[in-house]
């Protein structure tokens, strides 16, 4: 049982380049999330998808777009990368978006924008 | 802005001692509370969840919740060097998770 799988694990981009971070879960969860983690800032929500077909902005959505491709997959796109987007990105899923469903995290993508 | 506050540490305890990690939150209507452990360079993993006032025990871990004081804590008994990690407090309000910045714990052999 793989849980939440993220690709790639590492990525280096130049300012202005674009890329898509991929995330897939095999736990039949309804809700999926993208977080970024920066030193001293904790985990901050970028976008989430409460259920297939829906997406909503989180705390720090600027510069990002998402697609909930199907129930399993939720991708995050950086259209024009900026150095401020250097971070560790985590995808997570939960059974649903009700308050008692814990998040299960993928292994993360370490992104550096030069 | 929902706030979740944790002492960043570092917290150092000797092997076999009790480690006490604390978290306060600002929103009185917060409903669920989780503790995650994160090893350096790894992703957060769920340790405990607690939803009602009081204590909840799971092995060497005990979570304590006091909604009136807006306070949640994690006790680790018989601390082991393998417990050395950053511990993240997560508070759920509505359908949103809010994370503290984490407390770094070092267990000294």
Residue B84, pLDDT score: 97
Q: Count Cβ atoms within 10 A of the Cβ of residue A17 and give its class: 0-12 exposed, 13-18 middle, 19 or more buried.
A: middle
Q: In the predicted model, is pLDDT for residue B2 greater than 80?
A: no
- Which residues lie closer than 8 Å to B48 by C-beta, 6 or more apart? B34, B35, B56, B58, B61, B63, B74
Å between A71 CA and nearest CA of chain B: 18
With beta carbons under 8 A apart, name residues in chain A contacting B92.
99-100
How big is the CA angle at A98 (ends A97 and A103), to the nearest 5 degrees?
60
In chain A, the residue whose alpha carbon lies closest to the alpha carbon of B102 is: A42
Task: Compute how many other C-beta atoms are within 10 angstroms of the C-beta atom of residue A64.
Answer: 19
Nearest to A100 by CA among B94, B23, B74, B44: B94
Q: Print pLDDT tens along chain A (114 aa).
A: 689 999 999 999 999 999 999 999 999 999 999 999 998 888 999 999 999 989 999 999 999 999 999 999 999 999 999 999 999 999 999 987 666 789 999 999 999 999
Q: Beta strands A109-113 and A10-13: pairing type?
A: parallel
Contact, A62 vs A45, CB < 8 A?
Answer: no
Tens of pLDDT, residues B74-99 = 999 999 999 999 999 999 987 788 99
């Amino acid at each position: 049982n793989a849980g939440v799988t993220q690709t790639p694990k590492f990525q280096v981009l130049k300012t202005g380049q674009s890329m898509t971070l991929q995330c897939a879960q095999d736990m039949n969860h309804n809700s999926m999330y993208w977080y970024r983690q920066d030193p001293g800032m904790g985990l901050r929500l970028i976008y989430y998808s409460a259920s297939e077909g829906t997406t909503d902005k989180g705390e720090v959505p600027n510069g990002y777009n998402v697609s909930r491709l199907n129930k399993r997959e939720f991708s995050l796109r950086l259209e024009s990368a900026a150095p401020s987007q250097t971070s560790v990105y985590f995808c997570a899923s939960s059974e649903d978006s009700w308050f008692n469903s814990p998040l299960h995290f993928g292994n993360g993508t370490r992104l550096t924008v030069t | 802005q929902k706030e979740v506050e944790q002492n960043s540490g570092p917290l150092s305890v000797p092997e076999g001692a009790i480690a006490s990690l604390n978290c306060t939150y600002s929103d009185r209507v917060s409903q669920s509370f989780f503790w995650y452990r994160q090893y350096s360079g790894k992703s957060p993993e769920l340790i405990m969840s607690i939803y009602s006032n009081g204590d909840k025990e799971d092995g060497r871990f005990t979570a304590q919740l006091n909604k009136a004081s807006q306070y949640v804590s994690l006790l680790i008994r018989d601390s082991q060097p393998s417990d050395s990690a950053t511990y993240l407090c997560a508070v759920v309000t509505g359908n949103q998770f809010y994370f503290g910045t984490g407390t770094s714990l070092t267990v000294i052999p």
